Amino acid sequence: MSAVRLAGLAALAGLGLLALWLGPGGGMQDAARWAAAGQREVQTAMAGALRGLRAGEAGALTALLGVSFAYGFFHAVGPGHGKIVVGGYGLAERVPLGRLAGIAVAGSLLQGASAVALVGAGVWLLGATREQMTGWGDDWLAPASLAAIALVGLWLALRGGRRLARTARSGIPAPNHDHDHHGPGAVCETCGHAHGPDPAAVARASDLRTQAALVLAVGLRPCTGALFLLILGWRMDLVPQAVAGVTAMALGTASVTLAVAAASVTARESVLVGWGAGRGGQRLAALLELAAGLVVALVAVAALRAGL
């Protein structure tokens, strides 16, 4: 068996073990219980900080921002899907860490914004209760978010499979034109027009669409803690302070997904180091994208089935 296949199988095995650990009954459940206990304690502290703000206590806003950040951290450590999406994409694609970090932060901030939008529509327009809005999030937005994540994972897997097939056919010469072009997508001096789109531009557009889908999938479902904080803030007439707390909560969530982003980029580069840009490296990269996409899709489908 070639070294490329061995490395690919090792990557597949590692991602499979990760999926088992993240899935129902895996080791992630212990982390989820620890995170849930932390969230309950911090939720009580958030209510106390809001009461302190209403009473005019010094330092109450700082305390609210601090405990909200902590809630976001505990929420992200639990079985949330944001880190699965960010980590899976970082393993599947050679994406700069700064860009992946931007996806992580944008998804977390969108999650906070979706909570503000849901509470704004529910409380101010429909007069809904906290239980109703939590039900909307759990019954509608959570499944929609998981379905979007599953689709993103399947798209990554499909793209990895196509790339793997292309590397297998890469030894076949491409058809010759009757005249040469100076570069992919460049305007031909002989005929005066471009014979096709620039592959780099097509790749960039595809990546931007994928990254936008990632942000939307992560941020579609509002955090329950954010709903709690916003509704409590509305009842105490402290809406701006509650929105500031939700922003801090989103940054707390991002702190975990940022760490996952860095780990995934480092892991991908460690697997691919030494392979270069030849056919072996391309094949291994395609295998990694295929495997990471399947793991993201399987974890999302498992979570979706568990919630039904």
- pLDDT tens track, the chain, 308 positions: 455 445 544 555 555 555 555 554 555 555 556 566 666 787 788 889 999 999 988 889 999 999 999 889 888 877 666 788 888 899 888 889 999 999 999 999 999 999 898 888 887 777 666 677 777 767 777 788 888 888 988 999 999 999 888 887 765 443 444 444 444 444 444 434 343 444 444 455 457 888 888 898 888 888 888 888 998 888 888 989 999 999 999 999 999 999 989 988 888 888 787 666 667 778 888 888 888 888 888 888 887 787 65
- What pLDDT does 141 receive? 77
Residue 219 domain-assigned (yes or no): yes
pTM, full prediction: 0.75
Cα–Cα dist 144/221, whole Å: 8
User: Which pair of tokens denotes residue 104?
Assistant: 């992580």
Residue 184 domain-assigned (yes or no): no
| Residue 19: domain span | 3-170+196-307
- What pLDDT does 308 receive? 53
Residue 185 domain-assigned (yes or no): no
Q: Output the CA–CA distances (angstroms, integers) from residue 212 to 61, 113, 128, 164, in the order listed.
A: 33, 16, 31, 24
- What pLDDT does 187 receive? 43
Residue 270 domain-assigned (yes or no): yes
- What pLDDT does 4 receive? 47
Cα–Cα dist 89/105, whole Å: 14
Residue 211 domain-assigned (yes or no): yes
Domain tally, the chain: 1
Residue 221 domain-assigned (yes or no): yes
- What pLDDT does 130 receive? 62
Residue 222 domain-assigned (yes or no): yes
Residue 183 domain-assigned (yes or no): no
